[in-house]
Every structure is written in C-alpha cells, then in structure tokens.
Structure 1
C-alpha cells in the first residue's frame, strides 16, 4: 500500500499537477467566451441595412422582421449546417449618414444559434438617419468591419440593401470605396428595395453632401435616368460571384432576403426560378471591372 502524501510532498504534487494543467490549456487554447470562435467559418456575412430618412418605423420593422425570419428559415439553416465547416459568422450595420454596428460578429452553427440571433435582430431599436451615404458605409466596412472578423472565413460577403442611390458622394468616390472593399477579397451583393411609384426610376443630377449644400455632378452617366436595380448593378455590386436580387417593396424584403441568404451562404449562383436575381458577368466581378 502506498502511503498518503503529506505536508511538503503533497504541496509539491499539487503544484506539479497545476502546472501540467496550465501547460495543457496553453497547448490546446485557454477556455474563454470566444473559445468557439476558433473554428473556421464558411462565410463571414455582413448585413448592411438602410436606415435613411425614407425608412420610417414601419419600413424598419419590416426589414428587421425579414432578416429574423430569414435566419429562422429551414432552407437558410440547412445551408449553414451543410457547409464545409457547418457554421457562418454574421454581423449587422445600420447605415445612413454614417455606418453604425448594431450586431457584433456572431457565430451561427446550429438551429438554436440562428433563432437566438433572430431574436436579437427583432429587439434592435430603430436608429434612423437622413442621407443615403453608401460610399461612407463601404469605407467603414473596409476599415473597421472586415479587419475585425475574428477567425478565418472561406468567403467574405457584404449584403447591401437600400431604397435609394448615394446622395452624399459622386460616382468616382463611390467606386473608390467599393473597390476598397473588393480589394479585401470580399464580394458585394445588392438588394435594392423598389417601391412602385416612388423609387423605381432614379437619377443623380445633383448630390447632397451634408454641410456642403447641393453640388452638380461633373460627368455622365450620372445625370441620366436609370432604374434602382440597374444603379446597384452598375455602381455597387462586385467581386467573385456577385449578384443582385431586388425586392418589390418592403413587404417583399423578407422573401428576397431568404433566397439571397441561401445563395450567399451556400456559395450557389442565381437560378432561373429566383425572380429578379441578376449576376455580374465574369469581366465585372473584380475590383475596377466597371
């Protein structure tokens, strides 16, 4: 029979066991609130939501409910769980005059995770703005959001929804900020919200930069009339596999976003059965391709 350790021997053994435990933890990663983030993600999804002056409380609610329902959709959850790593990262920003993070980077790796994030989205308060400063939003994404992705992701996707064109910057400035995002190996997809009789036809004969009044744009085709979905195609989306899916009004936002999420998460392409889904040609999927 081995006699029990006493006094100095017991303390020495205790210290040895404690050191061995810490060495093991250091070798395998210390437990923390972010321990689950050590896994590689299939996609890092940035959901950028328009909260400019045209988005009233009801339109904001429809957007938040549409995002929440999309996250709870069985098809979206299946796309998440059946990816190579079985998980995604998601963050949300509300943008108008500036871009404001409203949901930190969060991992979704189960149905419960998806429902928990959906519940958080439903509780987000309405923080509106005045202008539609898309170039500023893109700059913020490039400088602060993408660099803050906590783990390696196979793909980075910026999902931009909105009901108007940039009225803070001219075309060249917008393209510069878009290309800054694309240079980080990200893809920008668009979800224009087309409200019949209100914004389906757009133009930018002048833009309004806050604090600078009205300024005429200097070159074509900015002064030409176009449609909102075509404007998104020409000036916003880009990168590998970039596509656009339009919503016909705010009530249609949830439907469009569900289909869009499945495509973005599964790295699929637009299908004939997906209405108002338009992909870029191969030549226009890279920075500077427009």
Structure 2
C-alpha cells in the first residue's frame, strides 16, 4: 500500500498536457463543375464576410483558448487544394489576415465532378496535422451529391475520423426534388460524429448567411450542436 501511494503521488506530480487551442476547424469549399464562376465568387466572399462578421468574431474569441483554422477547395478525386493552411486565430489581426488570404484566392479547377469521399479523406488528413486542439471539426459545403470515386462511408472507414465532427452546409438545388435528395444525402451520408449538424442555404446568394450561422454555432462555447437539420435560422 505504501508503494502504491508513492506511485500515485508521482503520477499526480506529472505535468498535465495542455492543448494549444480549443478547436481545429477545416472548411471545405465545393468547386466542382456544377458551381459556376459567379457562384464560386459568392462562396469565397461569403466565407470572408462570415468570418469577419461581428457575431463570428465574438464567437472566435469567446474563450481564452484560440481556434485553429484551415480552408481547402475540392472537386474531382485528385483535385483538392489548400487555400489557407493552419492558422492560429489568436487575435483580430490574425482573423483579418486569414480572411484576406481567402479573399485573394483563385479557383484552381472548374471542370471536375463531385468526389465527396476523396474530399472527406483529404480533410481527415489535413486535420491529422492540425495543431493540438481539444476538438476537431470538418465543414463540408456543397451543391450536389457525390458522383465520382468512393462514397463518404468508405472515407469514414478508411481515414482517421476518430473524434472528428463533420458538419454540412447544403446549397439548395434548383429543383425541389433535387433539393430534397441533396438534403437527405447530407443527413444520411455526410454529417458524422459527435454533435454533427446541417445548415441549408437557399441558393448561393444565401451562402454567407448560412456560413455565418454555422460558424457561430461551431465556435460559440461549448459549441456542441444537436444532430439534425437546421434550415433558415439566422
């Protein structure tokens, strides 16, 4: 017993591991061929406006621990490009600089299909090299269902998604049947992990509002969402 007590005191004396940040957040932007140039511009400007909105800025700095942010674009199976590599958002200046990088970015591809499984796998690998954060979240935004390569379920089996939450931002399809099918696809196959949720944008003109609402929900402590569908709240 005496030896056990000494061992317990030694363990208690060991330094407690401290995380660098409270959340590693990766935003995935759909640039498949169904997204035209105007819509791509609305996405990029929408992300920039959402990130720098007063509500999202307040959510970024609602805790003493900062947030790590990365952004990448995706389309075909071999077409993923990092727009913003991991940036620690520990001040308003850092947030503005991150937004400026996104604002200055240009589309890398415009003629490839929607390889959602590959996009998810790329996101998992990006998160695997993120700073040491308490939680990890991947945001998948898109206007169509996966139509190339392996499905999301395969990505969740084969890539390191343990402890990762995948949220979705659906951009409504032009016709009602397609819209319902896309929402069902995201709800059934894309969102994944603890507290995962879905936000719906009513077309690309509504992308900024939807992105702002999603970021507020993810960033505001304790940033735990309920599994389900959130439509036009905001």
TM norm structure 2: 0.82
> Is 1:81 matched up with 2:61?
yes
- The correspondence for 1:147, drawn from 128, 149, 154, is 128
Gap runs ≥5 in structure 1? 1-37, 203-224, 278-290
Q: Residue in 1 aligned with 2:140?
A: 160
Larger-Rg structure: 1
| Counterpart secondary structure, 2:191 | coil
- 1:47 deviates by 0.3
Q: 1:195, 1:250 within 8 Å by CA — same for their partners in 2?
A: no
Which 4+ runs in 1 deviate beyond 3 A? 179-183, 274-277
- Within a 5 Å distance, the mapping from 1:1-290 to structure 2 comes to 40-85=20-65, 87-97=66-76, 98-129=79-110, 130-142=112-124, 144-149=125-130, 151-169=131-149, 173-180=151-158, 183-197=161-175, 200-202=176-178, 227-266=181-220, 267-269=223-225, 275-276=231-232
Question: Residue by residue, what CA displacement relative to the aligned partner does 1:103-131 show, whole Å, maximum 9, x if unpaired?
Answer: 11011112222122111111101222411
Q: Residue in 2 aligned with 1:288?
A: none
Distance 1:177 1:276, change over 3 A: farther
Distance 1:238 1:276, change over 3 A: farther
Q: 1:190, 1:237 within 8 Å by CA — same for their partners in 2?
A: yes
Q: 1:189, 1:242 within 8 Å by CA — same for their partners in 2?
A: yes
Distance 1:88 1:181, change over 3 A: farther
Partner Cα separation in structure 1 for residue 139 and residue 98 of structure 2: 17
Q: 1:42, 1:265 within 8 Å by CA — same for their partners in 2?
A: no
TM norm structure 1: 0.67
Partner Cα separation in structure 2 for residue 42 and residue 135 of structure 1: 27
- 1:243 deviates by 0.0
Gap runs ≥5 in structure 2? 1-17
Kindly indicate whether structure 1 or structure 2 has the higher relative contact order, using CA contacts under 8 Å at least 6 residues apart: 2
Q: 1:182, 1:238 within 8 Å by CA — same for their partners in 2?
A: no
| Counterpart secondary structure, 2:83 | strand
CA RMSD, 1 decimal: 2.2
Distance 1:235 1:139, change over 3 A: same
Q: Give the length in aligned residue pairs.
A: 209
Distance 1:180 1:239, change over 3 A: farther
Distance 1:239 1:276, change over 3 A: farther
